[in-house]
C-alpha cells in the first residue's frame, strides 16, 4: 500500500489516492501546517506543492495493532517546482509516520506526519 501511494503521487493519480486515502485523511505536513482532510491534500497537489520528479520511501519500522498499521521511516523526493522548504531539482530527505486502518475489508491511510530533515 505504501508503494501504491508513492506511485500514485508520482503519476498525479488522484483516482487511486481517493481510494487509498479516507475522506477524513489528516496530515501534519512538511510545510508546518495541517491538512485537515483528503480534499485539502488533493488541493495542495493541484496547486503544484506535491509534484515530484522522484520519490522514494523506505520503511524502517512497521507495527500492526489489530486493524491499525503504523509505518515509520524516511523518504527522499525531488520537487519539480520550488516549494516552501525545497528548491526544484534538489533532493530532500524527510521523516514520516503513516497510519493505516482496515475499513470494510480494505486498508486505507487515515493519517500522516512528514517533516523535512535539516540539510
Q: Rounded to an integer, what distance in angstroms lies between the CA atom of residue 22 and that of residue 39?
A: 10
Question: What is the number of structural domains in the chain?
Answer: 1
Backbone angles phi and psi of 87, in degrees to 5? -90, 145
Kindly tell me if the per-residue pLDDT of 119 is higher than 70.
Answer: no
- 36 by DSSP, 3-state: which? coil
CATH number, residue 44: 3.10.450.50
Q: Which residues of 90-117 are buried (b: 16+ CB within 10 A; e: fewer)?
A: eebebebebbbeeeeeeebbbbbbbebe
Mean pLDDT of 77-88: 93
Q: Which domain holds residue 14?
A: 2-116
Model confidence pLDDT, tens digit, residues 11-62: 999 999 999 999 999 999 998 899 999 999 999 999 999 999 999 999 999 9
Question: What pTM, to 2 d.p., does this model score?
Answer: 0.93
Amino acid at each position: 500500500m505504501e508503494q501504491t501511494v508513492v506511485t500514485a503521487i508520482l503519476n498525479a493519480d488522484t483516482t487511486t489516492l481517493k481510494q487509498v486515502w479516507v475522506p477524513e485523511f489528516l496530515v501534519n505536513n512538511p510545510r508546518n501546517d495541517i491538512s485537515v482532510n483528503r480534499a485539502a491534500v488533493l488541493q495542495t497537489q493541484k496547486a503544484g506543492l506535491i509534484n515530484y520528479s522522484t520519490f522514494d520511501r523506505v520503511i524502517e519500522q512497521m507495527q500492526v495493532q489489530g486493524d491499525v498499521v503504523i509505518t515509520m521511516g524516511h523518504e527522499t523526493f525531488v520537487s519539480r517546482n520550488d516549494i516552501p522548504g525545497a528548491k526544484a531539482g534538489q533532493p530532500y530527505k524527510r521523516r514520516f509516520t503513516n497510519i493505516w486502518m482496515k475499513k470494510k475489508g480494505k486498508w486505507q491511510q487515515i493519517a500522516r506526519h512528514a517533516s523535512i530533515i535539516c540539510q
